[in-house]
Copies of this chain bind each other. A is one copy, B any other.
Amino acid sequence: MTTGAGSRANPGRERQFFIGLARAFAGSLIFALPMLMTMEMWWIGFWIDEWRLVILTLVLIPLLTVLSRFSGFKQTDGLVDGIVDAFVAIAAAAVMAIVVLFIFEVIRFGMPAREIIGKVALQTFPGSIGAMLARGQLSGEQQGSQDEEIAQDPSYPGELFLMGVGAIFIGLNVAPTEEIVLLSYMMGPWQVIALALLSLILMHAFVYAVNFPGQPQLAEDPGFWSLFMRFTVVGYAIVLLISAYLLWTFGRFEGADLEEVLGASIVLGFPGAIGAAAARLIL
């Protein structure tokens, strides 16, 4: 029973896997809970355009595979390992979504298959990201944080990818709600611009904070403009693109003109930018 972590005995490995699976369930539940309790997510589940749901599901697989490199259950080495990790996360998230939605009576026996599948597929997206993150986060507690940081220190594209994941994650939480469009209608164009600038300032503050963790003295910094252009501006552009993609997926742009598209993207980009910046801190 006291098989060491390094041992290759089969029971130990299987137990590790089941602990990981339990973490995946917990993570998908914690991360998807706000969305499981959002009516708009139930409704979008049945009226979402089929092709957009297909695209969303196809986007999920490479997203999870890459994400498993950064925060998967184990230090994923091969592509196959990453893909396996991705599908384990999807399975855990789907089971969790079915159980909770069934108890909520949001899905019922006798409902059309299209409705049930749409509702579950939509919830699986945030749930599987949560499952993947939780397996990394919760299991990381054992190792020294210093050690882990070196192992996972991401490259520049990796940093941008993590920012994108953060933006997708927070964006999914709020994109389906009515508040995003309502806010973009309530706010005048100058308020929208102020919000975009506030998003940029806050993102830069986070970027800056990550690069100098806790250090008051700023000697030898890479330069304000270098950091600002390479991380803040690029990150915010990614956030805007992801926001527009999510709003399009949820059918918020039907019959809309350009100003509406940009306004809603900036409003959704505000939480997205916080999410993107926070992702670099947390992941």
Asked if A217 CB lies within 8 Å of chain B CBs, one says yes
A103 neighbours in B (Cβ, 8 Å): 187, 191, 194-195, 198
Find the B residue at minimum CB distance from A2. Answer: B217
Find the B residue at minimum CB distance from A27. Answer: B278
Known: A39-B179, A39-B182. 17 other contacts (CB 8 A): A1-B216, A1-B217, A15-B216, A22-B205, A22-B209, A26-B205, A26-B206, A29-B202, A33-B274, A34-B174, A37-B183, A37-B271, A38-B179, A104-B195, A105-B191, A106-B186, A142-B214
- Contact assessment for B216 and A19 in the assembled complex, using a CB-CB cutoff below 8 Å: yes
Asked if A138 CB lies within 8 Å of chain B CBs, one says yes
Cα–Cα distance between A240 and B188 once the two chains are bound (Å) = 42
Q: Which of A1-32 contact B (CB under 8 A)?
A: 1-3, 12, 15-16, 19, 22, 26, 29-30
Cα–Cα distance between A15 and B216 once the two chains are bound (Å) = 7
Tell me how many chains of this kind the complex includes. Answer: 2
A142 neighbours in B (Cβ, 8 Å): 213-214
Find the B residue at minimum CB distance from A219. Answer: B1
| Count of chain A residues near B, Cβ 8 A | 56
Find the B residue at minimum CB distance from A179. Answer: B37
- Contact assessment for B214 and A19 in the assembled complex, using a CB-CB cutoff below 8 Å: yes
Q: Which of A200-217 contact B (CB under 8 A)?
A: 202, 205-206, 209, 213-214, 216-217
A106 neighbours in B (Cβ, 8 Å): 186
